[in-house]
């Protein structure tokens, strides 16, 4: 920012100095020449007056011309040529000064019937004066540019430093630093931004505090209810009917997994979504185990495919919840076999702007597909909009799934409409990035 402001001001200063300096240099050059010519013209006027005073009543010079005063008015190194009328109806010529002048500056004066004057002086002194005048003007231009540079640097610093401070403060706010900053910079617009950031800091801190309190209350209530459910299931686990005991044990395992999921979500909310390295297949195996029975009841199959060694940099609970939403969506609106596939791809740059990353970063892709009719063309553009549903549901599930994935720097997209194929892209764990990924195709 500072460099751009400095370059802009300097460009204006230099352009202005050139637009004014070049004509001023030319004007100074001509002014020196006009000054010297005016001096010669004044000398010629005084010489003409001396000659006219020596003329008689008949308008001619009688006898020899008195040149003493003319010699005094002739500059050193110069040459004066005087032509004047005589009594014998002729004209006389008198040369005063040097016999010849190199590179002369010439001025002449016609006196009508009284003759004419021609004055030549060396132009070296005038050229020296012209160069001095041009140098003085050029020095003035350089001083103006230097002064403009100082002003540009001070102005750029005065504007760039406050902007940097405000940007850093906004970055700290995004990182969860809600400490107020009392510094102001004397620039009304930036001070207004600082005031707004102060207000936003107070509001966001208050909201986060209320949300954390709400999460704590909700998690407490859920744990209490789950504990009560587990106690009831524990009573059923000693039932005389073996089938009831099996169902009770499976239900208690489901309650335990739900309790663990609630604890992980609470920890994630308190730690601002800190990412961890998780085994994708291991996390998704829990989802498959939870949804396998509903698919079997619907006479359908739920399949998990992928490499068990794939590690992703994400939050396990968020990944499980997002995939669970997609599997539930496939169960409710799809048909046939639902496949959850884990693979590696390249070419997905999912980092935020300004964050250093490779343009061909290896990513983990989790695809959830089925064999149903898919998503209609009218529904596809709005399928992730919160509250929008084409099948009478709440319209929250897919929006929530996308929010969970994006919270960890990933992305959830509808890759294919018919049959439906949803793809989740999350960063691969750093130490598990392969040197080469083969047999990988770009997402459709």
End-to-end CA distance of the chain: 40
Q: Tell me, yes or no, whether 208 lies in a domain.
A: yes
Residues 225, 145: Cα–Cα separation, whole Å? 77
Residues 304, 404 within the same domain = yes
Q: What is the pLDDT of residue 436?
A: 46
Residues 422, 294 within the same domain = yes
Residues 290, 405 within the same domain = yes
Residues 296, 245 within the same domain = no
Q: Tell me, yes or no, whether 115 lies in a domain.
A: yes
Residues 194, 263 within the same domain = yes
Burial (CB count <10 Å: 0-12, 13-18, 19+), residue 402: buried
Q: Give the residue from 403, 385, 177, 171 showing the smallest Cα distance to 273.
A: 403
Both tokens of 267, joined, read 């920890």
State which H helix or E strand residue 75 sits in: none
Residues 104, 224 within the same domain = no
Residues 43, 333: Cα–Cα separation, whole Å? 110
Q: What is the pLDDT of residue 131?
A: 93
- Domain boundary among the residues 126, 158, 175 is at 126
Give Cα separations from 299 to 294, 295, 331 (angstroms).
9, 6, 11
Residues 150, 6: Cα–Cα separation, whole Å? 10
Count of other CB atoms within 10 angstroms of residue 48: 19
Q: Say if CB 121 and CB 40 are below 8 A apart.
A: yes
Task: Please tell me the total count of domains within the chain.
Answer: 3
Both tokens of 363, joined, read 């990513």
Q: Tell me, yes or no, whether 150 lies in a domain.
A: no
Q: What is the DSSP letter of 352?
A: P
Q: Tell me, yes or no, whether 84 lies in a domain.
A: yes
Q: Give the residue from 94, 96, 85, 81 showing the smallest Cα distance to 56.
A: 85
Residue ranges of the alpha helices (H) in 62-113?
Answer: 68-73
Question: Per-residue confidence of the chain (444 residues) as pLDDT tens digits?
Answer: 677 777 888 888 888 888 888 899 999 999 999 999 999 999 999 988 888 887 765 667 666 778 888 888 888 889 999 887 776 667 788 888 888 888 899 999 988 777 888 999 998 889 999 999 999 999 998 998 888 888 888 887 777 777 777 788 777 777 666 666 777 777 787 788 888 887 877 777 777 777 777 777 777 778 778 888 878 888 887 788 888 888 888 888 888 777 777 776 666 666 554 457 899 999 999 999 989 999 999 999 999 999 889 999 888 888 998 999 999 999 998 999 999 999 998 754 444 444 444 445 788 999 999 999 988 888 888 888 876 665 555 567 788 888 888 888 889 999 899 899 999 999 988 765 554 444 334 333
Q: Give the residue from 205, 184, 203 showing the smallest Cα distance to 193.
A: 184
Residues 372, 258 within the same domain = no
Q: What is the pLDDT of residue 388?
A: 62
Q: What is the DSSP letter of 112?
A: G
Q: Say if CB 84 and CB 74 are below 8 A apart.
A: no
Both tokens of 257, joined, read 């997994």
Residues 9, 111 within the same domain = yes
Residues 202, 248 within the same domain = yes
Q: Say if CB 122 and CB 101 are below 8 A apart.
A: yes
Q: Tell me, yes or no, whether 248 lies in a domain.
A: yes
Say if strands 363-369 and 421-427 run parallel, antiparallel, or are unpaired: antiparallel
Q: Tell me, yes or no, whether 308 lies in a domain.
A: yes
Q: Tell me, yes or no, whether 416 lies in a domain.
A: yes
Question: Before 419, cis peptide (omega within 30)?
Answer: yes
Q: What is the pLDDT of residue 435?
A: 47
Residues forming beta bridges with residue 278, ordered by sequence position:
312
Q: Tell me, yes or no, whether 409 lies in a domain.
A: yes
Residues 299, 380 within the same domain = yes
Residues forming beta bridges with residue 311, ordered by sequence position:
279
Residues 147, 145: Cα–Cα separation, whole Å? 5
Q: Say if CB 122 and CB 105 are below 8 A apart.
A: yes
Q: Is the dihedral of CA 434, 435, 438, 443 positive or negative?
A: positive
Residues 306, 397 within the same domain = yes
Residues forming beta bridges with residue 416, ordered by sequence position:
421
Q: What is the mean pLDDT of the chain?
A: 81
CATH of the domain at 287: 3.30.565.10
Q: What is the pLDDT of residue 272?
A: 52
Residues 75, 193 within the same domain = no
Both tokens of 244, joined, read 């009831």
Residues 262, 391: Cα–Cα separation, whole Å? 28
- Residue 375 structural domain: 277-348+360-427
Q: What is the DSSP letter of 237?
A: T
Residue ranges of the alpha helices (H) in 175-307?
Answer: 188-236, 242-270, 280-297
Q: Say if CB 371 and CB 386 are below 8 A apart.
A: no
- Domain boundary among the residues 252, 270, 288 is at 270
Q: What is the pLDDT of residue 185?
A: 73
- Domain boundary among the residues 126, 153, 171 is at 126
Q: Give the residue from 379, 381, 362, 365 showing the smallest Cα distance to 422.
A: 365
Helix axes 242-270, 316-333, angle to 10 degrees: 130
CA atoms within 13 A on the CB side of 171: 8
């Amino acid at each position: 920012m500072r460099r751009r402001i400095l370059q802009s001001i300097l460009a204006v200063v230099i352009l202005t100095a050139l637009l004014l300096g070049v004509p001023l240099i030319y004007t100074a050059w001509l002014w020196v020449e006009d000054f010297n010519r005016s001096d010669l013209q004044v000398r010629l006027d005084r010489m003409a007056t001396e000659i006219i005073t020596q003329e008689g009543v008949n308008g001619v010079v009688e006898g020899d011309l008195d040149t003493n005063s003319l010699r005094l008015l002739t500059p050193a190194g110069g040459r004066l040529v005087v032509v004047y009328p005589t009594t014998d109806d002729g004209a006389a010529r008198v040369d005063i000064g040097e016999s010849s002048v190199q590179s002369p500056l010439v001025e002449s004066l016609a006196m009508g019937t009284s003759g004419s004057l021609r004055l030549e002086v060396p132009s070296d002194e005038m050229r020296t004066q012209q160069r001095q005048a041009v140098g003085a003007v050029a020095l003035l231009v350089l001083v103006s540019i230097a002064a403009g540079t100082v002003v540009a640097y001070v102005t750029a610093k005065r504007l760039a430093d406050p902007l940097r401070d405000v940007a850093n403060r906004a970055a700290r706010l995004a990182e969860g630093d809600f400490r107020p900053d009392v510094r102001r910079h004397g620039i009304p617009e930036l001070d207004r931004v600082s005031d707004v950031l102060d207000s936003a800091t107070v509001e966001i801190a208050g909201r986060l505090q209320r949300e954390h309190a709400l999460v704590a209350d909700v998690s407490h209530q859920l744990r209490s209810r789950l504990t009560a459910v587990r106690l009831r299931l524990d009573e059923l686990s000693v039932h005389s009917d073996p089938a009831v005991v099996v169902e009770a044990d499976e239900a208690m395992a489901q309650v335990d997994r739900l309790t663990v999921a609630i604890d992980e979500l609470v920890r994630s909310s308190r730690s601002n979504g800190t990412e961890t390295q998780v085994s994708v297949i291991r996390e998704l195996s829990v989802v498959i185990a939870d949804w396998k029975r509903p698919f079997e009841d619907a006479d359908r199959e739920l399949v998990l495919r992928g490499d068990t060694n794939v590690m992703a940099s994400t939050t396990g609970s968020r990944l499980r919840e997002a995939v669970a939403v997609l599997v539930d969506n496939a169960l409710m609106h799809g048909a046939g076999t639902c496949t959850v596939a884990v693979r590696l791809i390249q070419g997905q740059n999912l980092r935020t702007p300004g964050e250093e990353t490779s343009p061909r970063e290896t990513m983990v892709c989790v695809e959830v597909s089925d064999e149903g009719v898919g998503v209609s063309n009218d529904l596809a553009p709005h399928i992730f909009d919160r509250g929008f549903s084409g099948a009478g549901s709440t319209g929250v599930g897919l929006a929530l799934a996308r929010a969970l994935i994006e919270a960890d720097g990933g992305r959830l997209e509808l890759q294919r409409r018919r049959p439906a194929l949803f793809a989740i892209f999350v960063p691969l764990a750093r130490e598990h990035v392969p040197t080469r990924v083969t047999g990988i195709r770009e997402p459709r």
